[in-house]
């Protein structure tokens, strides 16, 4: 029996994780849940899964949650300290890190220091502080298991093979809703258009990141830290069908790929049950119905966010943290209709150009770069 705490249990990854848990009550139990403001959904989860403790965004949300609870009442925490408490609390042996954005960094670090294995759905944790997190994982001897479908695919394609035999890893990208949109039309894209992903059902922020291809850029940086691969050995290919989730090419010319329906429950189930496997509930893959799989080179002119991510990875130091923070601010501004679609990457680019990088050592060094980038991006937008 594996006991789980889920950071971000009311988001798309959290809901999919709980669906896998629901299918396997003999394998998994829930020790803790952390959410933002959706206390109504959290109250439903509490009654079904009976966690020992939960956390919400603030004191007001905590008060509202108490009024919604029935007979069963777990311990309730709130704020960033609350999420960190859930992450490190006794009673769980694995933490599913699914809080969106850099907000997931501190709770995930707390979980690692508490000796919890990590099922990582929050790519920003490694984007912002990859060196720190990698060092902590080694120090505390915990497993860091990828939940992103692309990184799970690479992880599966690497198993049983020597790292020195890897020629490169190849991340696949759907291309998002604007894969064929003329570049001059992108500046007129509205949020409601960008939120219509052709393949995946995801939260608003990651859906916009997919539309700009920043999501793939963040995944490139995440792959660098997860698999100890330099930028030169990480490739990206656009694969609109989203059936091949990623590939590994070896020095002998062989390519191993992982295929499956575009459903996050598959990589979640793999991470939760690893090194075993368990049914995930996804639709079985029928290649005869798919018939055709196509691939394209990504257009770095139309989608400069991917180029910026590669540049941040190669430059290192605090650049990846700045890239991520500026992007979070710019995406929020786009969703609020304060800037245009193409202004997202432009804001990130200008923020990176204004940055004076340094070598981060402690957690606070990374957080300082994150705060600087947010403030700078907000000023640029204003």
- E runs forming strands in 105-149: 117-120, 144-146
Domain boundary residue, one of 146, 163, 182: 146
Residues 130 and 84 in one domain: yes
Confidence tier at 197 by pLDDT (50, 70, 90): confident
CATH number at residue 64: 3.40.50.720
Q: Tell me if 306 is assigned to some domain.
A: no
Residues 241 and 284 in one domain: yes
When the pLDDT of each residue in the chain is averaged and rounded to a whole number, the result is: 96
* Confidence check: pLDDT of 341 > 90: yes
Residues 173 and 264 in one domain: yes
What average pLDDT score do residues 195-209 get?
82
Q: Tell me if 305 is assigned to some domain.
A: no
Identify the CA nearest to 363 among candidates 135, 49, 90.
Answer: 135
Could you report the per-residue pLDDT of 263-279, keeping only the tens digit for each?
Answer: 999 999 999 999 999 99
- E runs forming strands in the chain: 2-7, 28-34, 53-56, 75-78, 94-97, 117-120, 144-146, 166-173, 234-238, 244-250, 255-259
Which residues constitute the domain of residue 104? 2-146
Could you report the per-residue pLDDT of 127-154, keeping only the tens digit for each?
Answer: 999 999 999 999 999 999 999 999 999 9
> What pLDDT shows up at residue 200?
67
* Confidence check: pLDDT of 176 > 80: yes
> What pLDDT shows up at residue 281?
96
Give Rg (Cα) of the chain: 20
Q: Residue written as tokens 């629901």? A: 22
Residues 89 and 186 in one domain: no
Confidence tier at 228 by pLDDT (50, 70, 90): very high
Domain boundary residue, one of 146, 164, 189: 146
> What is the C-alpha to C-alpha distance for residues 142 and 117, in angstroms, rounded to an integer?
5
Residues 352 and 287 in one domain: no
Residues 283 and 158 in one domain: yes
Better pLDDT: 100 or 153: 153
CATH number at residue 372: 1.10.1740.10
Q: Evaluate if pTM is beyond 0.85.
A: yes
Residues 195 and 277 in one domain: yes
Residues 159 and 296 in one domain: yes
> What pLDDT shows up at residue 196?
85
Residues 155 and 139 in one domain: no
Residues 200 and 254 in one domain: yes
Sign of CA dihedral 123, 201, 56, 28: negative
Q: Number of folded domains in the chain?
A: 3
Identify the CA nearest to 267 among candidates 117, 101, 133, 121.
Answer: 121
The count of other CB atoms within 10 Å of the CB of residue 354 is 15
Q: Residue written as tokens 């929020």? A: 332
The residue length of the chain stands at 382
Residues 136 and 70 in one domain: yes
């Amino acid at each position: 029996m594996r006991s789980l705490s889920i950071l971000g249990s009311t988001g798309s990854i959290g809901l999919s994780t709980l669906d896998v848990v629901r299918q396997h009550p003999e394998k998994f139990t829930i020790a803790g849940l952390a959410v933002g403001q959706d206390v109504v959904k959290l109250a439903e989860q509490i009654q079904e899964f009976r966690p020992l403790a939960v956390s919400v965004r603030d004191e007001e949300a905590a008060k509202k949650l108490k009024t919604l609870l029935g007979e069963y009442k777990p311990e309730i925490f709130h704020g960033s300290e609350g999420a960190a408490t859930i992450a490190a609390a006794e009673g769980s042996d694995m933490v599913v890190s699914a809080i969106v954005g850099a907000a997931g960094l501190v709770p995930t670090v707390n979980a690692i220091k508490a000796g919890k294995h990590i099922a990582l759905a929050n790519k920003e944790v490694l984007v912002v502080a990859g060196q720190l997190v990698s060092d902590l994982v080694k120090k505390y001897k915990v497993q860091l298991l990828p939940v992103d479908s692309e990184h799970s695919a690479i992880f599966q394609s690497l198993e049983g093979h020597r790292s020195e035999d890897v020629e490169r890893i190849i991340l696949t990208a759907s291309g998002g809703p604007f894969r064929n949109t003329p570049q001059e039309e992108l500046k007129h894209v509205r949020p409601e258009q960008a939120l219509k992903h052709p393949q995946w059902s995801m939260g608003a922020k990651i859906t916009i990141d997919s539309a700009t291809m920043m999501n793939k850029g963040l995944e490139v940086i995440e792959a660098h830290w997860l698999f100890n691969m330099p930028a030169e050995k990480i490739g990206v290919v656009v694969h609109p069908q989203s059936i091949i989730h990623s590939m590994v090419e070896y020095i002998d010319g062989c390519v191993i790929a992982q295929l499956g329906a575009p459903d996050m429950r598959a990589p979640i189930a793999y991470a939760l049950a690893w090194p075993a496997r368990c049914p995930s509930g996804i639709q079985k893959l029928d290649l005869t119905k798919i018939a055709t799989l196509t691939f394209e080179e990504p257009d770095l002119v139309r989608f400069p966010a991917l180029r910026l991510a590669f540049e941040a990875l190669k430059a290192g130091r605090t650049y990846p943290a700045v890239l991520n923070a500026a992007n979070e601010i710019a995406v929020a501004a786009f969703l609020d209709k304060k800037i245009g679609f193409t202004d997202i990457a432009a804001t990130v680019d200008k923020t990176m150009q204004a940055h004076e990088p340094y070598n981060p050592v402690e957690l606070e060094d990374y957080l300082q770069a994150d705060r600087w980038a947010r403030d700078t991006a907000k000023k640029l937008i204003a």
